[in-house]
Amino acid sequence: MDNTKAAEIIKTARTTLGIEFGSTRIKAVLIDETYQTIASGSHDWENRYVDHVWTYTMEDIWTGLQECYADLKKDVQEKYGVTLTTFGAIGFSGMMHGYLPFDKDGRQLAEFRTWRNTITEAASEKLSEIFQFHIPQRWSVAHLYQSILNGEEHVKRIAFFTTLAGYIHWQMTGKKVIGIGEAAGMFPIDSAKNTWDESMLGQFDELVEDKGFPWKLEEILPTVMVAGENAGTLTDEGARLLDPDGDLKAGILMCPPEGDAGTGMVATNSVAVRTGNVSAGTSVFAMAVLEHPLSRPYEEIDMVTTPAGDPVAMVHCNNCTSDLNAWVGLFQECLETFGTKVDMNTLFGTLYNKALEGDADCGGLLAYNYFSGEHITRFEEGRPLFVRRPDSKFNLANFMRVHLCTSLGALKTGMDILTKQEKVELDKMLGHGGLFKTKGVGQRILAAAIDTPVYVMATAGEGGAWGIALLASYMKNKAEGENLTEYLAQKVFGGAEGERMEPVASDVAGYEKFMELYTAGLPIERAAVEAMQP
């Protein structure tokens, strides 16, 4: 598309804006009528570890959003000579789960507790027992109940609590709503009714009845919405929050806010039954859209939904590429010490490909990528760790391979339950996120880990911001009766599946051998956590 045509599309609001709050980056993507990205903006940020809580401040959130949007405006101005004033529709998404409570006047009552925290074990275990449904530590209701168990004073004053995406949408529109995929990371969903599970709401209220709180749980939760529903319009106040320059106009349609799991499913066209995807970046999670319910609850597996409300089995791990990235950064520092400047994309690509020269079992090397706790392997805290025997095959190829393999080690534990114990069948798994940026490497390691063909699309790098832009587009442009699966398959992706990679038998066998050492070595990680206290 030439710039003149793109400028006209922007001016006439035939665009859709998606903004996603990731763990390390806030990203904005502007798409046209053919779902192509025509402009983007971003802002890098990092969570803080304050008083044993992983958090972001309100200043972090709003400064980050405004700088991300300003970066998008700059990109549009430089490319097309247009000042952004409007869009056809807007969507916000964010890292799922966490806890943001507010009083009746909209005042924040406690620090934002993100998905990364593993501080709600007692609440998670009690709720899982009562509901007979696995409630992970990072879920919003686990944070709420843990606050009650801790005797935190703020709980009695809660008028509303939500997630990061739900909070941003509330500030933009005045609507206390949430997309069903994001909602499924707050509290269990009844997929037959596409709303909160009524019986579990009652069980929770009965559990805390003796506390005398002036609220029932449903009263302080946001309203659940499904993909395609109108979730309100941008208010004047919201427009000023997003664009302090004052150029942005109010009245723009907004879709339900979603979580990064749901937007990842949309961005990879994996919302249909028997499809799945793996998102691998700071954290890693796999989503499998189910044909049938699982036989029983598992601590390692979360039950969530697609943005349309279909049941999904989710394996979520707190840690993925952070330690791997840190090692690549060390190699960069080493090269620069010798006076060699190297492009980071080149460095990542070279080192990732080197891993393919390594032994399939990583030559007896062992690493754990636990920057934070990892619930699947029962760790409340983490310590990044590398260890080897004197006779291990210690070379660069195996060193890189072990850090790639361990990035998916905890994920494999959960996926083995789905594929080996529950016999869940998947027609395809799609990979997206930073682990897959180097062509053919992360894809091959994942195929070995789950012994399943893995697809990577050309659009995989577009990520969740593109996914929420597509959901906003679906809300505005869907035909009468057209469901999300049809819209994505026929209009957005046009039948494209991406590049397929079959698992290599020797890789699969080697990964299984690596996992034997990974499992046996967990006491080493436990000793590191206990010995290296802050």
Q: pLDDT at residue 179 above 70?
A: yes
Q: Is pLDDT at 440 greater than 80 in this prediction?
A: yes
> Reduced to 3 states, what is the DSSP secondary structure of residue 338?
coil
**Whole-number Å distance between alpha carbons of 533 and 471:** 44
Q: How confident is residue 461, by pLDDT bands cut at 50, 70 and 90?
A: low
264 band by pLDDT with thresholds 50, 70 and 90: confident
Structure confidence at residue 1 as a pLDDT band (50, 70, 90): low
Q: Is 376 helix (H, G, I), strand (E, B) or coil?
A: helix
Model confidence at 455, pLDDT cuts 50, 70, 90, reads very high
**Distance between CA atoms of 177 and 506, rounded to whole angstroms?**
49
d(CA 470, CA 16): 8
Q: Which long-range contacts (CB under 8 A, 24 or more apart) does 54-62 make?
A: 54/113, 54/114, 54/116, 54/117, 54/372, 55/111, 55/112, 55/113, 55/114, 56/112, 56/114, 57/111, 57/112, 58/108, 58/112, 61/21, 61/112, 61/164, 61/167, 61/168, 62/241
Q: Name the E strands within 11-145.
A: 16-21, 25-31, 37-44, 48-50, 53-55, 89-94, 100-102
pLDDT at residue 496 greater than cutoff 80: no
Averaged pLDDT for residues 342-348: 95
Q: Are 28 and 40 in contact (CB under 8 A)?
A: yes
**Extended strands (E) in 148-280:** 160-162, 177-179, 189-190, 195-196, 223-225, 253-254, 258-259, 275-280
Rounded Cα–Cα distance for residues 297 and 300 (Å):
9
Is the pLDDT at 279 greater than 80? The verdict is: yes
User: Are 287 and 264 spatial neighbours (Cβ–Cβ below 8 Å)?
Assistant: yes
pLDDT of 404: 98
Highest mean pLDDT, choosing among 63-72, 287-296, 413-422? 63-72
For residue 299, what pLDDT is reported?
87
Q: How confident is the model at residue 434 (pLDDT cuts 50, 70, 90)?
A: confident
Structure tokens at 281: 């970046």
Phi-psi region of 228 (alpha: psi -120 to 50; beta: other; left: phi over 0): left
Which pLDDT score, from 0 to 100, does residue 462 have? 65
Lowest mean pLDDT among 13-17, 94-98, 262-266, 461-465: 461-465
pLDDT at residue 376 greater than cutoff 70: yes
What are the tens digits of pLDDT across the range 79-132?
999 999 999 999 999 999 999 999 999 999 999 999 888 899 999 999 999 999
> What's the N-to-C CA distance of the chain in angstroms?
54
> What does the block give as tokens for 329?
């950064």
The H-assigned helical ranges of 305-374 are 322-337, 344-355
- Report the run of H or E that residue 130 belongs to, with start and end: helix 121-131
Confidence class for position 460, pLDDT limits 50, 70, 90: low
Average pLDDT over residues 189-207: 96
